[in-house]
Structure formats: structure tokens, C-alpha cells
């Protein structure tokens, strides 16, 4: 009897140990599944968050570009949302696309300032695109009590500060005031001026007509292409401006006027390469450079309808152009909408030089910076004179280039870029 009891105890011990092992194994499996869930579901979440951020970035840039071109926040929001939806349809974004009609919320906001970003303030310059509540199913994390992952993204885009290195600038220069205290290098913004009157520019030096020598310059043909926008050269604030002696009236006019949809001489047939601006309206009649002296102004005053212009003269200017852009009163339908027009063709970044020491013939002028110039009307040729009328503007102008390492400030060229959203709460 005692032997049977001892034998039963010995036989039952392994069964108790088997139960403990089973419990430990179960706990270990839960832990392992949890770790796998954190790794796999975490990677799945990060992958989709990255994809969502890419979509938000592209949408913000698209909206900021449209806003910069048109000053139309309605159209900018439409384009931002369209870009987001289009990219959501790309391969790999199926979960985001599927969530667009469900819980994924996409909002578009506008602000006049970047830091802080204040939605609803004007004039609008910066765009924020926020995508919230992308809910992703959990594969393994349910064992830890979580059924889904929620990710989001936010992006802000808008104009950069005035850049210190500008590309695709106008191959013409103006002389500016080198005094650092001089606003806009001594130029008054918004006032109609003649960028190139093609009288000998002794501000630069004998034989110079404000033209810039660029790499590969082979004469009139290259100047014509450059004036049309075919020069991709860059300039930085620590550079000098190499001047190009000579006048070349015809090529200057033919190149510039492609921006107004006028393709004369060798520029005929280059419409696709050098499209016109979306708005080519201009003063009617055109401004002239010589008119009877009146009001104490000389015969070289800029004139409209035979009279020197002043602050009270009403004609088609940059403000009129902006109004046409905002209202969508396009002369040429934008290329993105199936037309032939391009934005910002009438606005150029112009290098400003320190002409304190003039140069005889070809020489180098220290570069002070850049100003943005809007062409008021087509360039006019009269014999050996060509005149380019326009205004230096506060709004700035988009170019290629880079804004660092120490961006300047003021009405100079800029790029449309992304910014960190300091108020980000979406992710």
C-alpha cells in the first residue's frame, strides 16, 4: 500500500512539471508575438507614415506653386487636393487610397506668415496640408491589446527668403547703390522704369549696354536665346558680373518678346521651347520713351498717350497683371490645363551690380544682389534703340537656386520650398 502511494506521487510529478512548462511556453509565445508585432506592425506603420508624408509634401508644394502663380487660394486648394489624390493612386499606396473615402482626413490651410503659421490670415503665402487618422490594421499587436495603428503627416510649403545664389536670371544687369543702408539698391519698387534703353550705358562703362556675358556666348544668336529664357547660368553674391559690350538690338527684342507670344525672325517656331506668359495684356497704346517735355520732365521721360507718366497715370501695369492672374483672365491657357501659356514668363530676376568703377568694353562688375523685374509690355525696337519697360516689384520672383547658407531678405528671387511644421500634431 505504501509502495503504491509512493509510486503514484512519483508518477504524478512529471505531469505537474509539464503544466508549468506549458504556462511558461504560452507566456513566451505571447512575448515573442508581441515583439514580432512591434517589429512588423511598427515597420508597416512607419512605411505608410513615410508614404503619407510624401503625399502631404507633394500636395503642399503643388498648392504653394499654384498660390504663387495665381494668388488664388481656391484654386491652390483644388490643386493641392488633386495632387494628394493622384499620388495616393500610385503603386504601394493602396491603403492610403482606400482610406481617402473613409477616416483619412485631409485639410488645406493658408497663412500670411510662417512662424507662426496662422490659418486664415492674408495675404496668403504659405500652404499647410495635413493628413490625419490613417488607421492601419494590426497583424500581431492585437495580442498586446492594440487592434490598429493610427498615423498622420503634415507639410508646409511656400516661398523661401531671398536667395543668394540665383539661376536662370536675366542676362542683363542694372547698376545699384552699394551702400548697405540703401533700400533695394536705390530703386523705388512699383515705379515704371526702362531696364534697357539701348543708349550707351556709361553707368557701366563705354561700349556697354547692360548686357551680361554668359558662358558659351557666341554672339547675337546666343543673346537672342538668353533673352527668351534659355540661359541657365547662376550667380552668387560673392561673384562678379561679366559685362558684354555691344548692343544687338534685334536679338534682344526678338528674345524678350517671346514672353508676350511674339515670335519674330529666328524665334519663329520656338513656341514650345519658349512659351508666352499666361497673361500678355499690355498698355494700349504702348508706353514710349520720348515725348514732349512737360511738367519739368525731359524728352527722355516715359510717356503714355503722349504725356509723361506720374503717380496719377492709369495704364496696364503690374497690379493689373496680378488682377488678371487672380481672376483667371488668361490670354493663354496654362500648359498644365492643356494650353500654351506659362506662369511668370514676364517676371525676371535681374542682377544688380556695383558700377562705382566703370569698365571699358568687356569687364567685371561686383554683384550686389538681385531684384525682380516685371515687363510691362513687349520690348520696342526703334532703329538702333530697344526699350524694355517694366517695374521692379516687391512680390519677388521664382527662380532656380538655393537660399542658403545665409538667405537675404527683400524683394528678390526665391524658390518654393518645404518647411518644417513647428505646430505639427498629426503624427
pLDDT tens, residue by residue, 30-76: 556 555 555 555 566 677 788 899 999 999 999 999 998 888 999 99
- Taking the C-alpha atoms of residue 134 and residue 368, their distance in angstroms, rounded to an integer, is 49
Low-confidence stretches of the chain (pLDDT beneath 50): 199-202, 205-208, 294-298, 404-406, 409, 427
- pLDDT at residue number 213: 73
Residue 4: per-residue pLDDT = 60
Sign of the four-CA dihedral 58, 60, 63, 64: negative
Q: What is the pLDDT of residue 346?
A: 93
Taking Cα atoms as reference points, which of 115, 114, 104, 105 lies closest to residue 157?
Answer: 114
Pairing of strands 385-392, 174-175: unpaired
Q: pLDDT by residue (tens digit) across 400-420?
A: 655 544 455 456 677 888 998
Q: What is the pLDDT of residue 202?
A: 45
User: CA-to-CA distance for 151 and 46, rounded, in angstroms?
Assistant: 8
Q: What is the pTM of this model?
A: 0.68
> Cis (ω within 30 of 0) for the bond into 233?
no
Amino acid at each position: 500500500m505504501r509502495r503504491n502511494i509512493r509510486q503514484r506521487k512519483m508518477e504524478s510529478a512529471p505531469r505537474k512539471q509539464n503544466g508549468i512548462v506549458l504556462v511558461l511556453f504560452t507566456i513566451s509565445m505571447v512575448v515573442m508575438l508581441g515583439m514580432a508585432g512591434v517589429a512588423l506592425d511598427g515597420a508597416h506603420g512607419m512605411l505608410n507614415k513615410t508614404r503619407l508624408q510624401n503625399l502631404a509634401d507633394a500636395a503642399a508644394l503643388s498648392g504653394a506653386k499654384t498660390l504663387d502663380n495665381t494668388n488664388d487660394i481656391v484654386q491652390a486648394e483644388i490643386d493641392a487636393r488633386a495632387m494628394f489624390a493622384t499620388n495616393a493612386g500610385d503603386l504601394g499606396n493602396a491603403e492610403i487610397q482606400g482610406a481617402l473615402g473613409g477616416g483619412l482626413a485631409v485639410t488645406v490651410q493658408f497663412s500670411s506668415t510662417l512662424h507662426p503659421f496662422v490659418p486664415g490670415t492674408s495675404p496668403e503665402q504659405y500652404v499647410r496640408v495635413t493628413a490625419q487618422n490613417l488607421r492601419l490594421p494590426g497583424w500581431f499587436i492585437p495580442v498586446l491589446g492594440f487592434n490598429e495603428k493610427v498615423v498622420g503627416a503634415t507639410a508646409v510649403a511656400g516661398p523661401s527668403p531671398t536667395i543668394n545664389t540665383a539661376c536662370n536670371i536675366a542676362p542683363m544687369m542694372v547698376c545699384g547703390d552699394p551702400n548697405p543702408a540703401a533700400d533695394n539698391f536705390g530703386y523705388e519698387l512699383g515705379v515704371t522704369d526702362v531696364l534697357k534703353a539701348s543708349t550707351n550705358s556709361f553707368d557701366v562703362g563705354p561700349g556697354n549696354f547692360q548686357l551680361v556675358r554668359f558662358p558659351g556666348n557666341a554672339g547675337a544668336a546666343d543673346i537672342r536665346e538668353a533673352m527668351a529664357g534659355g540661359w541657365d547660368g547662376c550667380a552668387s553674391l560673392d561673384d562678379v558680373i561679366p559685362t558684354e559690350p555691344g548692343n544687338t538690338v534685334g536679338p534682344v527684342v526678338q528674345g524678350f518678346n517671346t514672353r508676350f507670344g511674339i515670335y519674330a525672325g529666328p524665334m519663329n517656331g520656338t513656341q514650345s521651347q519658349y512659351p508666352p506668359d499666361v497673361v500678355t495684356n499690355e498698355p494700349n497704346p504702348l508706353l514710349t520713351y520720348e515725348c514732349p517735355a512737360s511738367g519739368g520732365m525731359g524728352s527722355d521721360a516715359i510717356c503714355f498717350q503722349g504725356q509723361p507718366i506720374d503717380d496719377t497715370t492709369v495704364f496696364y501695369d503690374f497690379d493689373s497683371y496680378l488682377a488678371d492672374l487672380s481672376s483667371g483672365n488668361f490670354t493663354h491657357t496654362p500648359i498644365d490645363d492643356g494650353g500654351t501659356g506659362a506662369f511668370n514668363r514676364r517676371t525676371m530676376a535681374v542682377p544688380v551690380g556695383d558700377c562705382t568703377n566703370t569698365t571699358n568694353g568687356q569687364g567685371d562688375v561686383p554683384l550686389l544682389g538681385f531684384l525682380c523685374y516685371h515687363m510691362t509690355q513687349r520690348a520696342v525696337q526703334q532703329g538702333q534703340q530697344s526699350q524694355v519697360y517694366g517695374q521692379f516689384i516687391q512680390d519677388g520672383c521664382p527662380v532656380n537656386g538655393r537660399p542658403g547658407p545665409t538667405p537675404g531678405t527683400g524683394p528678390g528671387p526665391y524658390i518654393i520650398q518645404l518647411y518644417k511644421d513647428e505646430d505639427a500634431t498629426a503624427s
